[in-house]
Amino acid sequence: MKIYYDQDADLSLLKDQTIAILGYGSQGHAHALNLRDSGLKVIVGLRAGGPSYERAQADGFEVLAPHLACSRAEIIMVLVPDQIQPQLYREAIEPNLSPGKMLMFAHGFNIHYGQIVPPKEVDVTMVAPKGPGHLVRREFERGAGVPCLVAVHQDATGQALARALAYAKGIGGTRAGVIETTFREETETDLFGEQCVLCGGVSALIKAGFETLVEAGYPPELAYFECCHELKLIVDLIYEGGLSFMRYSISDTAEYGDLTRGPRIIDQRVKEEMKRILEEIQSGRFAREWILENQAGRPVMNALRRQEAAHPIEEVGARLREMMPWLKKK
């Protein structure tokens, strides 16, 4: 497996090229600002009247309708939500593709599941940061970076990988390490990670712990600090030095509880369910469900969002975070 760092990427490959960033949300604003700070020429493609249009202008970018941005740019990075991309592709991107251009993604969903099929004469690549967009920006500003995956789906120019690596360097990814992979591998592992561990698994674990303590009669504020707030402090230690550094910092009592009780929580049944979820991703069943859910106007997503917003952990957490002035208010 190949991992690329700063010395493996040449920013000058992009210096005379215009980069269009479509979307100015979580990833979009971070890529646009980091690339500009790296000395590259960036324009932003957005629909007029949307909330991020003025934000991108206020940050000093030239903001154009998506089809105009695509017609002006040699490099087009698609950073609108995955479910929006196929329509935006048909309306604004495809008519403005021509030989020599490079179409880029930060996640492989639409290419891997065949929702977007670009013409053969353009490069199609991916630079997928392994972290939320706001941290892609925050880490870059402090001189660090978020690791990325890079993949080439089509190499029409012979320069696709080199140009994608230059882009990864421009957003700070090669400071931390950029792994070469495929659209399939990125898509499947990314969906698996967010469903089973990073978002789905962690949220379910936090809520189960919180509910168990509250149902046993402990104060919800205490349950929040124990099962949610402290998680970040523990994960920071794992991020910095692995599980061993976290275990070095916690008490021996905590470490003994971790080693003996942890496997009772995440046991063989959990792993069996993870395997089933991975199979749904690999077979395309999850992708079909998500595509149809969007076509139907998101009835399940809307109901679940309402239900989750009403969970007691949200009210308690908001109240406690209000007392922590160092946390950014949403």
Ligand X SMILES: CC[C@](O)(C(C)=O)C(=O)O
Q: Which residues bind ligand NDP (CB under 6 A)?
A: 23-28, 46-47, 50-52, 79-82, 84, 88, 106-107, 128-129, 132-133
199 binds, among ligand X, ligand NDP, none (CB under 5 to 8 A by kind): ligand X
What are the two backbone dihedrals, phi and then psi, of residue 149, each rounded to the nearest 5 degrees?
Answer: -110, 145
**What residues are paired with 181 via a beta bridge?**
151
d(CA 225, CA 230): 6
Question: Residue number with the shortest CB distance to ligand NDP?
Answer: 50
Q: How many residues does the chain have?
A: 330
Smallest separation, CB 96 to ligand NDP (Å): 15
**Could you say whether residue 194 binds ligand X (CB under 6 A)?**
yes
- Asked if 35 and 11 touch (Cβ cutoff 8 Å), the reply is no
206 binds ligand X (CB under 6 A): no
- In the list ligand X, ligand NDP, none, the entry touching 194 (Cβ below 5 to 8 angstroms by class) is ligand X
* Residue 93 Cβ vs ligand NDP, minimum distance, rounded to whole Å: 11
Residues within the annotated binding site for substrate? 251
Distance, first Cα to last Cα, the chain? 40
Token reading at 258: 């971790």
| Cβ proximity to ligand X, 26 vs 71, nearer residue | 26
Picked from ligand NDP, ligand X, none, the partner binding residue 145 (CB below 5 to 8 A depending on kind) is: none
Place of tokens 């992009």: 14
Rg of the chain in Å (alpha carbons): 22
Q: Which stretch binds ligand X (CB under 6 A): 32-40, 160-168, 190-198, 231-239?
A: 190-198
Among 123, 139, 186, 190, binds ligand X (CB under 6 A): 190
* Tokens, residue 252: 């021996």
Q: Catalytic positions, please?
A: 107
Which residues on neighbouring strands pair with residue 104, listed in sequence order?
77, 125
How far, in Å, are 104, 211, 217, 224, 318 from residue 315 at the CA level?
40, 14, 18, 10, 5
Q: Which residue ranges are tagged as binding site for Mg(2+)?
A: 190, 194, 226, 230
- Identified binder of ligand X from the candidate list 3, 65, 117, 199, rule CB under 6 A: 199
Residue ranges for the binding site? 24-27, 47, 52, 133, 190, 194, 226, 230, 251
User: Applying CB under 6 A, does 25 fall inside the site for ligand X?
Assistant: no
Report helix, strand and coil shares of the chain as percent, to nearest 5. Answer: 60, 10, 30
Q: Tokens standing for 151? A: 């993949």
Taking CB under 6 A as the binding criterion, the range among 52-60, 114-122, 130-138, 251-259 that sits at the site for ligand X is: 130-138
CB closer to ligand NDP, 23 vs 173:
23
Candidate residues 25, 86, 119, 132; the one interacting with ligand X per rule CB under 6 A: 132
Among 197, 195, 152, smallest CA distance to 287 is for 195
230 is a site residue for ligand X (CB under 6 A): no
d(CA 46, CA 67): 9
- Chain residues in the site for ligand X (CB under 6 A): 130-132, 190, 194, 198-199
